[in-house]
Chain A
């Protein structure tokens, strides 16, 4: 049988996100089957598994991006800090301010670097004055490790940066609205190895302040950046545990097969 649960709870860790019996249907396709997963605060949780296994689908449930897809249906409950995010009267806009997202392909807006980072604070009214806004932008760029590289050209187009810089700009843009959770959907798959190393380093730093869930195709990446790893297969959560345990001593044969490269 598949082990759906989180194993025995660790007393010290605070649980940030709780998913119970989550099912996702795209029209007739059953994309995610009865997933139960707890995500600990201030840790990096990696979601791994072969293509089409449902890990990105699960990620997109957490900020309700699946709502945008015609014919998508989500059942079960997902709670962040004990608050159900699928309640009818919950404001999706507020949810997405609490749960930031970084996409596979770096997608800065075709605006200046400053405006990219300032966009979120502007629409959420986080800065009262121009000076406050500037402070938020500078702090966010610093946290994303990008400030030193772009401080002299904040008014140039964000699309003019290199791929790795663009991705860090997107991370700065996401953290500018002070989210609690950051979702990353294969954030390094479009980057070269050096840019990847920088982003991975950044992810490790960010976990001091944020709860991070990262979908990745690279097992090395999961091993390098995450404390917890969840393995998905064919829409089911096969196994979840400490990253070290998953990679050295997986409980499930499927997990072992995947991490040793027998399928994928």
Chain B
């Protein structure tokens, strides 16, 4: 047994020690509770945000469509019978739709009623038929049951976003409501998968507006950004970290890079406008220029991330390589860069994720135009996802509200995939050498 050790001072008592311990534990508990509540608060906001967006946006992935028996009548579409694409391209497909609707509702004989019938369908439904015939000329003369998009007001009514009566925001006559109800009970009117959202470019008609143009525009921009900012950023970081001697000049460069990372992106947009469009004369609204502007935005971030990753490589790796007679370049390419690569890639992907969501610089170089066609090359006019969200959010039609949220969901999916890739890369390389 050990003897009792006399306390150093009389003031140290068992009770005093216990009281201090209790206080320490209490502070500990408080601190943990504070941390938990901070996380709960952050998660609540996140769930609220996601819940609102998904709640508002999920209906946009479906679109109300009416199944019509369409006869591709050669007498209307191609009276000369020569199959000339120019004739087929300008033919009156709307008449096929009107004929089909009139056979469904033979009681609609007055002009006003016939106009009401036309208002059931999207003004772009005839383009759908044209596309089908041009893709498959053998349809000529045949009768097919085809699902065609309804107009946006009908779509909103089917989805329950607007009411039936005028007080509830409805804009339909009793006759129209009757016909809509009959189509639904016949199984001819239903909300089906909205393929236009993923295959079409922008449109003035919400039911025909799609994200394909914006997604492709974002993809091309991002491609240009990655191809430029990754090699440039890594080369700059490697030079500054591994080759440049510490001097006043490198200090100035370092301070300036850190400052550039904090410059608002709209300033880079203005710079891009002046240099790429006004001086170099590159095409306006093109993803190429968007990518160049986003390169300016993301380059400082990537340089800083790459420098941090290079700094994290322990110095003994460099010493070991140099002591074996490796040149500085061999030391960097054989040892330092491979070890720093997961960090550099993570930083790059996070920089890219920021670039995907960047709007302001794209506005300045004209990627905010109304572009119907999906861009085929990086020099065609295009928008990008965040710009599309901005454009749709500013559109007055009821149908664009849900589509704005749908576009946000698509953008968030983009970001989630990119961040998951960053995490995957980091984990993979970390595991490689235990």
Contact = CB atoms under 8 A, between A and B. Distances in A.
B317 A157 contact: no
Interface stretch (B87-95, B170-178, B321-329, B409-417): B321-329
A124 to B, nearest CB: 6
Contacts of A94: 325
B339 A110 contact: yes
A63 B323 contact: yes
B320 A124 contact: no
Interface string B287-326: 0000000000000000000000000000011111111111
Interface residues of A, number: 29
Given A103-B319, A107-B319, A96 B324 contact: yes
Interface in A143-160: 157, 159-160
Interface in B40-84: none
B334 A119 contact: yes
Contacts of B316: 103, 105, 107
A82 B434 CA distance: 45
Contact of A96 (B317, B318, B322, B433): B322
A93 interface: yes
B325 A157 contact: no
A160 B434 CA distance: 7
Given A70-B245, A157-B434, A160-B434, A96 B323 contact: yes
Interface of A: 63, 65, 68, 70, 93-97, 100-101, 103, 105, 107-111, 119-120, 123-124, 157, 159-160, 170, 173-174, 177
- Main SS at interface, chain B: helix
23 contacts: A65-B323, A68-B318, A68-B319, A93-B325, A93-B327, A94-B325, A95-B325, A97-B324, A100-B323, A103-B320, A107-B317, A107-B319, A108-B320, A109-B321, A110-B339, A119-B324, A119-B326, A119-B334, A123-B326, A124-B325, A157-B433, A159-B433, A160-B434
- Main SS at interface, chain A: helix
Contact of B324 (A105, A159, A160, A174): A174
The contact size tier of chain B is 20 to 34
A101 B330 CA distance: 18
A124 B246 CA distance: 30
B335 A96 contact: no
Given A70-B246, A119-B334, A160-B434, A107 B326 contact: no
B245 A123 contact: no
A177 B434 CA distance: 27
A119 B334 CA distance: 10
